[in-house]
């Protein structure tokens, strides 16, 4: 298979114009997904248009296996790899500091080093014991937890906000309306683009055979993550509004949301890891494989250690699992703008932009 290697921005743009121009002339894949439906609106492909199309793409790879112009044809089209590389470069170019974004996109080691650093800081800096059966806030006080994790959560979100604003301006987008946002949320919630043009699924891990496994894995991961976020949000409401202190009983909303979300998130991440191992690497973003595996692994560890922390509460292993879990959570917070987690935010922006364009062309 033809492996796409893109490093220079100018070379990327020229290659994007060449490949997308051929696709636009052929249009065989027009019904495959929203990316190809959007592509047919254009006669030429400037940098903003290519960025928009790249962030719409789900890398389902159906277009590659249906295409008659892939390698060994002289056109050597590889649209999935092209758009995946442009998409990853979008995240690296718009999120500051760029060197950190490049490191987390391309390597496992930033995740490993950050996790180790946070384990040391949490055990030494807070005095938490690795062998302790104490409840959650008896090991690390609520005040200390807030003082540590609030900045770790907010500062990366600020970096992400400014990165998204730069991206939004670069594609020439207008102010988002409620209708645009609602349309984007509907597309993201159903992940309909991963169902293929006729609802048959995609070809990500199975070559020319269609499956829906990747869509289901993405949905489990997304909804599991949202349930975990709801668990934390409800627990915060309980603590500050009603004065109800943790730990909460199993049938409380924080526990029900958290356990259910943790199981879904762990299962979804494990499935995504497996499917990625079955996929063809030359159809993805060049030089980003290690970072993608690292991020999926980090999400899996966040959810799984959270479940183990609940399982081992009241035992001497609880203290160690608390430190490990919180270290992975801290690493996840730091990585939000710089890892593949940014894909979700950039894709939502692209979906809002697509809703704007669609409404003006109807």
Count other Cβ atoms within 10 Å, centred on residue 190: 12
Question: HSE on the CB side for 257, CA within 13 Å?
Answer: 16
Structure tokens at 274: 């497996």
DSSP state of 57: -
**Alpha helices per DSSP H over the chain:** 9-26, 34-39, 47-56, 62-66, 79-94, 98-106, 109-120, 136-139, 142-170, 178-190, 213-237, 253-278, 289-311, 318-335, 342-361
What's the CA gap between 234 and 54, in Å, rounded?
Answer: 36
- pTM of the entire predicted model: 0.91
pLDDT tens, residue order, the chain (362 aa): 444 444 446 677 788 889 999 999 998 888 788 888 889 888 888 889 999 999 999 898 888 998 999 999 999 999 999 999 999 988 888 999 999 999 999 999 999 999 999 999 999 988 888 988 887 778 888 888 889 999 999 999 999 999 999 999 988 878 888 999 999 999 888 887 777 666 678 888 888 888 899 999 999 999 999 999 999 999 999 988 988 887 888 889 999 999 999 999 999 999 999 999 999 999 998 889 999 999 999 999 999 999 998 888 888 988 999 999 999 999 999 999 999 999 999 999 999 998 888 777 65
């Amino acid at each position: 298979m033809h492996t796409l290697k893109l490093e220079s921005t100018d070379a990327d743009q020229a290659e994007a114009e060449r490949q997308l121009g051929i696709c636009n002339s052929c249009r065989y894949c027009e019904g495959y997904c929203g990316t190809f439906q959007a592509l047919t609106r254009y006669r030429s492909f400037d940098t903003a248009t290519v960025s928009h199309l790249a962030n719409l793409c789900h890398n389902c790879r159906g277009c590659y296996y249906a295409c008659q112009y892939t390698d060994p044809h002289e056109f050597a089209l590889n649209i999935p790899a092209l758009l995946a590389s442009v998409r990853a470069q979008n995240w690296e170019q718009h999120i500051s500091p760029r060197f950190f974004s490049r490191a987390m996109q391309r390597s496992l080691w930033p995740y490993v080093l950050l996790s180790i650093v946070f384990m040391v800081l949490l055990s030494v800096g807070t005095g938490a014991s690795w062998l302790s059966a104490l409840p959650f806030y008896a090991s690390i006080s609520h005040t200390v937890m807030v003082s540590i994790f609030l900045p770790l959560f907010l500062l990366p979100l600020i970096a992400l906000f400014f990165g998204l604003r730069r991206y939004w301006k670069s594609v020439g987008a207008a102010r988002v309306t409620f209708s645009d946002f609602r349309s984007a949320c509907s597309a993201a919630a159903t992940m309909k683009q991963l169902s293929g043009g006729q609802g048959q699924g995609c070809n990500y891990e199975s070559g020319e055979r269609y499956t829906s496994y990747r869509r289901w894995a993405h949905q489990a991961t997304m909804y599991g993550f949202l349930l975990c976020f709801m668990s934390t949000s409800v627990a915060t409401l309980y603590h500050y509004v009603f004065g109800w202190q943790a730990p909460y009983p199993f049938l409380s909303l924080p526990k029900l949301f958290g356990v259910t979300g943790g199981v879904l998130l762990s299962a979804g991440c494990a499935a995504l890891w497996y499917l990625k191992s079955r996929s063809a690497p030359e159809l993805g973003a060049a030089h980003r494989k290690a970072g993608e595996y690292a991020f999926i692994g980090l999400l899996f560890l966040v959810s799984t250690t959270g479940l183990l922390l609940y399982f081992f509460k009241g035992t001497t292993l609880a203290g160690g699992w608390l430190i490990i879990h919180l270290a992975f959570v801290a690493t996840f917070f730091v990585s939000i703008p710089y890892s593949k987690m940014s894909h979700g935010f950039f894709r939502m922006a692209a979906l809002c932009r697509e809703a704007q364009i669609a409404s003006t062309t109807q």
